Structure 1
Amino acid sequence: MKPSQFAKGFQTRPDTTSSEKRTALDRLNAIDNLVKNDAPAVTKPAASLHEVPIAPAADDEQASNESPEYRAWRRAHGYRPGQIIELDLKAIKPSPFNPRHFYLKSSIAELAVNLAKQGQQQAIHVIPDYANPGTYFVSDGGRRVRALKEANKETVKAVVVDISVGIESYKLGYDLNVQRDSQTVFDNAVVWRRFLDEKHFQSQKELAEHLGLDESTVAVALSLSKLPETIMQEMVARPDRFGSNMAYQVGRYHSARGVDATLRLINKIVSDDLSTRQVADIVKGRTGPQESAKPATRQRYAQRMEIKLDGVSVGDLKSYGDDRLELRLRGLSREKRDDILRQIEQILQSERK
Structure 2
Amino acid sequence: MSGKKVANEQALQQVMGKFATAMKNTGEAKPPVEPSNTVHKVELPDTKPVVAEQQPATTPAIEVNPLAETPKPALEAKPTPAKTSATHGKKATPAATAEPNKDKPSSTQPLKPAPNKTKPAETVVDENSDLLLVDLELLYDNPYNARSFYDPEVIKDKAASISASKQIVPIKAIPHPQIDGAYIMIDGHYRKRAIQFLNQTQARVIVDRTPMTDAQMYIQSFVTNNERTPQTTYDNAVAWSKLLEQGVFSSYDDLANAIHISKGNISKTLSALKLPTSCLEIIKEDPAKFSLRSLYELNKYHEQSEDEAFILELVKMLFDSEVSIDISQFIERHAKKQDRKPRSSSRKHTLSLGNNQVGYMKDWGTGRLTLEVEFQGDDREKFIKHMSSFINVK
**1:133 CA drift (Å):** 1.4
Identity of aligned residues (%): 24
Instruction: Please name the residue that 2:206 is paired with.
Output: 159
| Further displaced range: 123-132 or 183-192 | 123-132
Q: Which amino acid counterpart does residue 278 of structure 1 have in structure 2?
A: Q
Instruction: Please name the residue that 2:273 is paired with.
Output: 225
2:325 aligned with 1:274 = yes
Residue by residue over 1:73-130, the C-alpha shift from the partner in whole angstroms, topping out at 9 and shown as x without a partner, is xxxxx97545432211111011211111111233323333333333222111001014
Instruction: Please name the residue that 2:141 is paired with.
Output: 94
RMSD across aligned positions (CA): 3.2
2:244 aligned with 1:244 = no
Residue by residue over 1:46-73, the C-alpha shift from the partner in whole angstroms, topping out at 9 and shown as x without a partner, is x975x989x8xxxxxxxxxxxxxxxxxx
- CA spacing shift, 1:206–1:85, aligned 2, 3 Å: same
2:156 aligned with 1:105 = no
Residues 95 and 165 of structure 1 are in contact (CA less than 8 Å); yes or no, is this contact kept in structure 2?
A: no
Instruction: Please name the residue that 2:197 is paired with.
Output: 150
Tell me which of 185, 196, 211 is aligned to 2:259. Answer: 211
Question: Aligned pairs, how many?
Answer: 217
Instruction: Please name the residue that 2:168 is paired with.
Output: 121
Instruction: Please name the residue that 2:45 is paired with.
Output: none
Instruction: Please name the residue that 1:185 is paired with.
Output: 233
Residues 236 and 242 of structure 1 are in contact (CA less than 8 Å); yes or no, is this contact kept in structure 2?
A: no
- C-alpha distance in 1 between matches for 2:274 and 2:154: 25
**1:265 CA drift (Å):** 1.0
* Other structure's SS at 2:274 match: coil
Instruction: Please name the residue that 2:314 is paired with.
Output: 265
* Other structure's SS at 1:183 match: coil
- CA spacing shift, 1:195–1:279, aligned 2, 3 Å: farther
**1:257 CA drift (Å):** 4.0
- C-alpha distance in 2 between matches for 1:104 and 1:229: 20
- C-alpha distance in 1 between matches for 2:276 and 2:149: 13
Residues 233 and 290 of structure 2 are in contact (CA less than 8 Å); yes or no, is this contact kept in structure 1?
A: no
Long gaps (5+) in structure 2:
1-117, 339-394
Residues 102 and 233 of structure 1 are in contact (CA less than 8 Å); yes or no, is this contact kept in structure 2?
A: no
Long gaps (5+) in structure 1:
1-46, 56-77, 289-353
- C-alpha distance in 1 between matches for 2:317 and 2:276: 19
- C-alpha distance in 1 between matches for 2:214 and 2:337: 46
- C-alpha distance in 2 between matches for 1:170 and 1:102: 15
Report the TM-score when normalising by structure 1.
0.53
Instruction: Please name the residue that 2:44 is paired with.
Output: none
Instruction: Please name the residue that 1:196 is paired with.
Output: 244
- C-alpha distance in 1 between matches for 2:154 and 2:277: 18
- CA spacing shift, 1:254–1:128, aligned 2, 3 Å: same
* Other structure's SS at 1:172 match: helix
Residues 245 and 276 of structure 1 are in contact (CA less than 8 Å); yes or no, is this contact kept in structure 2?
A: no
Rg comparison, structure with higher value:
2
Select the structure with the greater relative contact order (CA < 8 A; seq sep ≥ 6).
1
| Further displaced range: 235-244 or 137-146 | 235-244
Residues 125 and 159 of structure 1 are in contact (CA less than 8 Å); yes or no, is this contact kept in structure 2?
A: yes
Report the TM-score when normalising by structure 2.
0.48
- CA spacing shift, 1:219–1:108, aligned 2, 3 Å: same
- C-alpha distance in 2 between matches for 1:170 and 1:208: 13
- C-alpha distance in 1 between matches for 2:278 and 2:150: 13
